[in-house]
Each structure stands twice: as C-alpha cells, then as structure tokens.
A and B are shown apart, each in its own frame.
Chain A
Amino acid sequence: MDFDLEDLVNVEQTFYEDGYKDGFAHGRIHGLIEGRALGREKGFEMWEELGFYEGFALMWKAILDAQGAQDERAQNHIRHLLELIQQFPRVNPSTAVAENEAAGSSSELDIPRLFRQIRSRYKVFCAALGIRPTLRAADNSSSSPDREAMHDDLSGTDMEPTPSSTDRVKPERRKVWALHNPRADNVQGGGTELNF
C-alpha cells in the first residue's frame, strides 16, 4: 500500500512536470512576442528623438560647409552633438550598461546623463543658430529642469509597465524597462553637464 501511494505521488509529479514543460515553451513564445512589441516601441521612441538631433546636425553641417562659413562655434556644436549621439547604444541601454559592467569596462556608460547632454547640446546649438528648438526638447527643459526629473523623463511614465495579465508579475517585469536599472537612480549629482 505504501508503495502504491508513493508511486502515485511520483506520477502526479510527472504529470505536473510534463505540463510545466509544455506550458513553459508556450509561455516563452508569448513572452518573446510581447517583449518584442514593447522593445520596438521603446527603441523607436528613444532613437527617433536621437535621430532627429543627428539629422538636424548633419543638415546644418552640410549647409555650413556649402556656405564655406568659418563658424567655428557652430561647427564645434555640431561635432560635439554628433560625437555624443555616436556614444549612445543602439541596443537596449539597460542591457548595454549591464554588459558594459559585466565586461569590467573602465568607460562608464551613463545613459540618462548622456541623453541629457545630447538634449542640452542640441538646445545650445539651436540658440547659437537663433532657431527655436523643437517642442519636444523645449518641453523637457521646462518641465524637468533638474537631473532627477530628466531621468524620470527617460524612464517615461507613459511607458510604465502595465502588465497585461496579472499584478503578480509586476516586480519581475520592471527590469524590462530600458532605464529602470538601479544605477540610473544613483547618477544624480555626478559631474557637470558637457564636461567631455
């Protein structure tokens, strides 16, 4: 009798594990699909803004070159702006930062700070040209003058995780968000802007 019971328990365990394995494989597909949809959205959002600054700088560079203008200051702004954008990772910044740290790289990758530098460099450049910056950059300056707020801008309340299924998965999901890494919260107060 004892033997039978134990056998039954094992059999239940086997059923459970078989089901778990199938469910895991199926859940994985759904996780990949949902994660991909979110990642597309976030990557698009970030790089659309960065790309704007890049295109803006490139066009002005072409204009100044064509005019043969000896505007050192403007050229300087353009060069710095393009350099900063060049440093911005084209993959999920959180992952890039994690990998950077794992690799023990000496060069620190501080994404929120880099984003702030790019935005302010763009605005300074606009001011030098006597052009009004785009609404997007203007909004950011007025609504979030300090570092912390700027960081909030990046992590984006609009893209705050809102799990589609249940609340219990929320804590784990936070790490999906591009800039919700703990380091990002510790960067305020580090260095001044534009001190490259």
Chain B
Amino acid sequence: MDDEEFWGNDPKALQNTEWEKISNDFTNAGYREGITAGKEGALQEGFDDGFASVGAPLGRDLGILRGLSSALLAFLSRAPGPPSIATDPRVAEVRAIATELSNVRLSDIAPPDLQALAHAREHLDGEGRDRDARMDDEDDVTDPAELNEALKAKRDMESLEDLMAQMGGVIEGAGADARLKPARPTAEDVARLKERLLAIARELGLGIAVQWS
C-alpha cells in the first residue's frame, strides 16, 4: 500500500498495522527464546549421537589400522635375521602405509551430516526465510568449523599443517603442481591401505582377529 492509502482516513488500516506489529514483536521474541532453548536441549542428544554413530567407530577402525601397522613395522625393522630382512621391501611398504595412515583426519573420512545438508537446503529454498530474519547469526550448518569455536580452531590448525606440508613440497623442488592444494585421503584410500596391510600380514603368516566397528 502506498503512503496515501496508509495515512488516509482509514482507522482500520492503522489498526491492522498496529496489530501486525504486536503480532510480529511477540512472535519474534518467542522465536528467539525458543531457538536458544531448543538448541541447548538438543546439544547433548546430538553429541551422543555423533560420538556413538560416527566418531567412535571411525576413530576405532583407523586407530586399529595405525596400531597394526605400528606394531608390524616395529617387528619387521627390529627382527634380527639375515641382512635380507633389512632390505625387505615389505618394511618400506609398511612404513609407507603407516605414514599415509597418520595423515588421515576425521574430516577426510566422516560421512556428511545428512540433517545438516537437508537443513541448509531448507534455508536456501527460502522455506525458512521469515524464520531466518529472526535468527541473529546463521552459520553454514554443513561446515562443522562454522558451528563451533573449538572445531574452527582445529580446522585452522589443520590448514596450517597443510600449508607447511606444501612448503616442504616446494622446497624439495617439486613443480608448479605442488602449489596446488594436495589431495586429501578418502575413506576409499583408507580401505585400500587396510587391504594392503592385511595382505602383508597374511604373507607373513600372521592371523589377525580384528572385530571392526
């Protein structure tokens, strides 16, 4: 409605805007309080879910792989025996596997949070546009580092590690490619490392009884 109409002698219109203002003010106030309460009430539930369904099983399996390779490497490299042992290609192979495993991070192998993806899509679709107006800060919920200071600090540290690794690569005289962001390992890479490691163990006649998560 234009000003003319708005300020015209229509008390009804004025009443309606008053009414809308009251409605909005109180609804918004309730919404803000509700958001805080709802969020706090759900944090623990989310934490327990993330711990049990993703963090613990992924961490355990990766930890086991690291433990297996660490023990095998220690065994192979200290084994007294013919000199051929020292030059056993398997030592280098296990060492390479251990090194690659040590480079893996949770963010490399964690599945995406489906609820976060779905919720981000909702925001994009504008379904929650009027709700967003009531949110003080709307972070990218699909990026863990945007959710929490501690997680952000961790990601910053990892970025620094990446940077230093890159610099190391450049010093070693690698070409322009080294300046590109190095590819992060994936869950598939970890699965391949696992196969390689277990194959070596089999070759050596070692029967490992792991109950994977």
List residues 41-57 of chain A with CB under 8 A from any CB of chain B. Answer: 41-57
Secondary structure at chain B's binding surface: helix, strand, loop or mixed? helix
- With both beta carbons as reference points, the residue of chain B lying nearest to A134 in the complex is identified as B70
**B54 close to A (CB within 8 Å):** yes
Collect the chain B residues with CB atoms within 8 Å of residue A134's CB. Answer: 70
> Contact check: which of B27, B74, B150, B206 meets A162 at CB < 8 Å?
B150
> Contact check: which of B28, B46, B52, B201 meets A35 at CB < 8 Å?
B46
**B126 close to A (CB within 8 Å):** no
Given contacts A17-B30, A162-B150, contact A29 B113 (CB under 8 A): no
Chain A, residues 29-68, CB within 8 Å of chain B (1/0): the string is: 1111111111111111111111111111111101101100
Asked whether A63 lies within 8 Å of B150 as measured between CB atoms, the reply is no
**B139 close to A (CB within 8 Å):** yes
Given contacts A27-B42, A47-B63, A62-B201, contact A35 B71 (CB under 8 A): no
**A165 close to B (CB within 8 Å):** yes
Asked whether B29 lies within 8 Å of A35 as measured between CB atoms, the reply is no
Asked whether A28 lies within 8 Å of B38 as measured between CB atoms, the reply is yes
Asked whether B115 lies within 8 Å of A19 as measured between CB atoms, the reply is no
**A173 close to B (CB within 8 Å):** yes
Asked whether A47 lies within 8 Å of B42 as measured between CB atoms, the reply is no
- With both beta carbons as reference points, the residue of chain A lying nearest to B49 in the complex is identified as A36
Asked whether A58 lies within 8 Å of B38 as measured between CB atoms, the reply is no
**B129 close to A (CB within 8 Å):** no
Asked whether B43 lies within 8 Å of A35 as measured between CB atoms, the reply is yes
List residues 64-113 of chain B with CB under 8 A from any CB of chain A. Answer: 64-72, 74-75, 78, 106, 110, 113
Asked whether B106 lies within 8 Å of A41 as measured between CB atoms, the reply is yes
Asked whether A176 lies within 8 Å of B30 as measured between CB atoms, the reply is no
Secondary structure at chain A's binding surface: helix, strand, loop or mixed? helix
Collect the chain B residues with CB atoms within 8 Å of residue A54's CB. Answer: 60, 63-64, 67
In angstroms, how far is the closest chain B Cβ from the Cβ of A148? 23
Collect the chain A residues with CB atoms within 8 Å of residue B66's CB. Answer: 48, 51-52, 55
**A138 close to B (CB within 8 Å):** no
> Contact check: which of A60, A91, A129, A131 meets B51 at CB < 8 Å?
A91
- With both beta carbons as reference points, the residue of chain B lying nearest to A30 in the complex is identified as B39
Interface centre among B30, B46, B56, B149, by most chain A C-beta atoms within 10 angstroms, is B56
Asked whether A35 lies within 8 Å of B49 as measured between CB atoms, the reply is yes
- With both beta carbons as reference points, the residue of chain B lying nearest to A175 in the complex is identified as B44
Instruction: Determine the distance from Cα of A92 to Cα of B131 in the docked complex, in whole angstroms.
Output: 33
Asked whether B61 lies within 8 Å of A39 as measured between CB atoms, the reply is no
Instruction: Determine the distance from Cα of A21 to Cα of B29 in the docked complex, in whole angstroms.
Output: 11
Interface centre among B37, B51, B62, by most chain A C-beta atoms within 10 angstroms, is B51
Chain A, residues 162-173, CB within 8 Å of chain B (1/0): the string is: 111100010011
> Contact check: which of B31, B52, B115 meets A32 at CB < 8 Å?
B115
In angstroms, how far is the closest chain B Cβ from the Cβ of A52? 4
> Contact check: which of A39, A48, A60 meets B62 at CB < 8 Å?
A48
Query: Which A-B residue pairs are the 8 nearest by beta carbons?
Result: A51-B63, A43-B55, A35-B46, A55-B67, A23-B34, A27-B38, A19-B30, A39-B50
